[in-house]
Structure 1
Amino acid sequence: MSAGTTVEWDLDYRPRRMPRVAIVAAAVVLAIHITFAALLTISDTGVHVGGADQFGLALIGLVEAGLILLFTQPRLRVGPAGVAIRNLLGERVFEWDRVRGMTYPDKGFSARLLLPADEHVPVLAVQAWDSDRAVDAMTRFRELEDRYRPSSG
């Protein structure tokens, strides 16, 4: 695909539960770090804690919260151009001639996009947590796969 080319997607799916959990977890982690940073000066422990230490503790909480918020990013897109998977960082597009299907392992956290040579890519957007929505996404993926994937015969 060249720069400036727009791609149409028939399915644009994002998980519902994981981003909500990630936002709450990030807020809790940040609140704990800021609270402890503020409380460091209240008691006299005999240890010298300065403003830089407090700032550092709050900054660590901010970094941790930012990393947790990466779990709000997963997305699955499916269309004529192929299958686009964005997990925590970056998005990869797999053209239909490389796609062998998508499966959900029995003891897995998320679906897997099957590729040639027994390779697979996790699809964090499709998770058991989302129950019926995840099932609908898998069903829709299979419909689009039947439409767009070249037949192997």
Structure 2
Amino acid sequence: MNERRDATQPSAGTSEHERATGTELICLRPRRIRLVCWVSAILLVVVFSLIATTLTGPTGSGYGTFQRGDQVAMIGLGIMFALGALLFTRPRVEADVRGVRVRNIIGSYELPWEVVRGVRFDRGAPWAALELYDDDLLPVVALQAADKQLAVDGVRALRRLHQAHLTAVTERAAR
């Protein structure tokens, strides 16, 4: 049975049995950007709603008037911008002994460990990346430098699963 690890504890508490049988499932999501995005989305809807309620032009001033439809459209714009901000809460990475699934802001990838050369988190990089054998780098936006220790723990957990896969491959090859 797979045990799901959330972003709050990506690798803490993993038992030796889970490591030995390969049932560990790691699920990581960024923390800070989600908080910032949700607060921003709420503020966008509130601000655009306040602007919409104050959109009343003087009649006959020559500058035009705002109708009820204009107010509804302004609220709709606030909702659309809020939904756009919430796209940044989408990143996630899930990994187990079979492979890694990466969901970025735009695009999702499911890769077996066989195509992954390593897990990188370069100094100064905003997020981690998977180095593939075809010399591509796949960004893992879910592991962001802004999350500090959470990102470090997540990279270590991914590296541990990748190393477990490499060990299993060399053991199979030695037989």
SS of structure 1 residue aligned to 2:152: helix
Deviation at 1:9, TM superposition (A): 5.4
Give the equivalent residue in structure 2 for 1:27.
Answer: 42
**Unmatched segments (≥5 aa) in structure 2:** 1-22
Q: Per the alignment, do residues 54 and 9 of structure 1 end up closer, same or farther by CA in structure 2, a change over 3 Å counting?
A: farther
SS of structure 2 residue aligned to 1:107: coil
Question: 1: CA distance between counterparts of 2:145 and 2:97?
Answer: 26
- Identity score, percent: 31
Deviation string 1:66-109 (CA, Å, 9 cap, x unpaired) is 11111112111111221100112453211111111111132321
Question: 1: CA distance between counterparts of 2:24 and 2:99?
Answer: 9
Deviation at 1:18, TM superposition (A): 1.0
So what's the TM-score if we normalise by structure 2?
0.75
Deviation at 1:121, TM superposition (A): 1.4
**Number of equivalent positions:** 144
Question: 2: CA distance between counterparts of 1:93 and 1:33?
Answer: 38
So what's the TM-score if we normalise by structure 1?
0.85
Whether the 8 Å contact between 1:9 and 1:77 is mirrored in structure 2 is no
Deviation at 1:57, TM superposition (A): 1.2
Deviation at 1:25, TM superposition (A): 0.8
Give the equivalent residue in structure 2 for 1:14.
Answer: 29
Find 2:68's aligned residue among 51, 71, 75.
51
What is the aligned-residue RMSD (CA, Å)? 1.8
Task: Say if 2:81 is the partner of 1:64.
Answer: yes
Find 1:139's aligned residue among 138, 141, 156.
156
Deviation at 1:147, TM superposition (A): 0.5
Find 1:113's aligned residue among 122, 130, 134.
130
Give the equivalent residue in structure 1 for 2:5.
Answer: none
Give the equivalent residue in structure 1 for 2:147.
Answer: 130
Give the equivalent residue in structure 2 for 1:37.
Answer: 52
Find 1:94's aligned residue among 104, 111, 120.
111
Whether the 8 Å contact between 1:40 and 1:54 is mirrored in structure 2 is yes
